[in-house]
Structure 1
Amino acid sequence: MEQVRPISESDARNYNPLSLAFIGDSVYENHVRERLLLGYPNMLPKDLHVKAVGYVKASSQSRIISGIEDSLSEDEIYIYKRGRNTKSHTIPKNADLLDYKRASGFEALIGYLYLIGRDARLEEIIDLSFKIIEEGENHDEERQ
């Protein structure tokens, strides 16, 4: 079987940003599911799914990108903004349009890092995303 990745940065930069988001969505969701399963080995799948949604929904990804934007390289910001600013042919059902666009940018960045083989940076961003979401959950619990 032919090796698919890593591809060159210049090739990845030429991909349609929504195609980067397409693969980024899958990569991010898989990482979330894996971490949740390893962290909660006895949790029922339906409960794992509910917990995973808290990480992968557009509003959460929008919050993540807000939390990490200052730590992105110029190249990463370029990819994020391309994904964010690309006109989508779908309209979000359960998301604010701005959150949806920012989430698309986040997913494009994840897809880009995955395709170019920057696995350490990808893991770093996913680690940060978990911290941001968990801090938000803890903050929400404190207010209740």
Structure 2
Amino acid sequence: MGDAVYEILARREVCRSGKLTAGELHRQTIRYVSAPAQARAAEKIRPHLTGEEDAVYRRGRNAHSHAAPRAATEAEYHAASGLEALFGWLYLRGQNGRIEELFAIILEENDASGRHTADGAAP
């Protein structure tokens, strides 16, 4: 659930940058939803989480996974899983405002043009 919620937020952000082909939309979205990008996003929001939210993040991060990471370290993969667990948990609790707050924190670091990608690279 959380992966879908996070991807919708990422696609919405990418679409705000203007007209894109389907392929370019996909490439730009990957810059937000890849495991390394999600791991960096998780580190940005961790200081802003409530105790309960952090517990959900840690449970998701520490859950045993049978999938082997491909383009990420195992630590990045687990951090990304924690982020997705948190966003899914918030969504299921109807806390859409909190989801938006946390995603805004993820987007706070902008490049000189005022645009951002979660991987830190210019769009």
TM bucket normalised to smaller: 0.7 to 0.9
**What is the CA deviation profile of residues 88-121 of structure 1, one whole-angstrom value per residue up to 9, with x for unaligned ones?**
1111121110000000000000000000001100
More helix, by proportion? 1
Q: 2:81 aligns to what?
A: 104
Note if 1:56 corresponds to 2:14: no
The one-letter amino acid of 2:5's match is: V
Structure 2 counterparts to residues 1-144 of structure 1, below 5 A: 23-37=1-15, 39-132=16-109, 134=116, 136-137=120-121
Structure with the larger RCO, 1 or 2 (CA within 8 Å, 6+ apart): 1
- Aligned-pair CA distance for 1:25: 0.2
Report the alpha carbon displacement of residue 48 of structure 1 after superposing the two structures with TM: 1.1
Identity %: 35
Which amino acid in the other structure matches residue 109 of structure 1? L
Runs of 4+ in 1 over 6 A off after TM superposition: none
Specify the code of the residue in structure 2 equivalent to 1:66.
E
Say which SS state the counterpart of residue 39 (structure 2) adopts: helix
Larger radius of gyration: 1
Q: Deviations over 1:8-64 (max 9, x none)?
A: xxxxxxxxxxxxxxx000111012112222x13311111111110000001111111
Q: How many residues align?
A: 116
**1:9 — aligned with what?**
none
Aligned residues: CA RMSD: 1.7
SS of residue paired to 1:90: coil
Unaligned runs of 5+ in 1: 1-22
Aligned in 2, Cα 1:103/1:132: closer, same or farther, shift over 3 Å? farther
Normalising to structure 1: TM-score of the pair? 0.75
Q: Which shows bigger deviation, 107-116 or 125-134?
A: 125-134
Q: Secondary structure at the match of 2:108?
A: helix
Measure, in 1, the Cα distance between the counterparts of 2:91 and 2:10. 15
Unmatched tracts of structure 2, length 5 or more = 111-115
Stretch moving more, 124-133 or 112-121: 124-133
Q: Normalization by structure 2: what TM-score?
A: 0.87
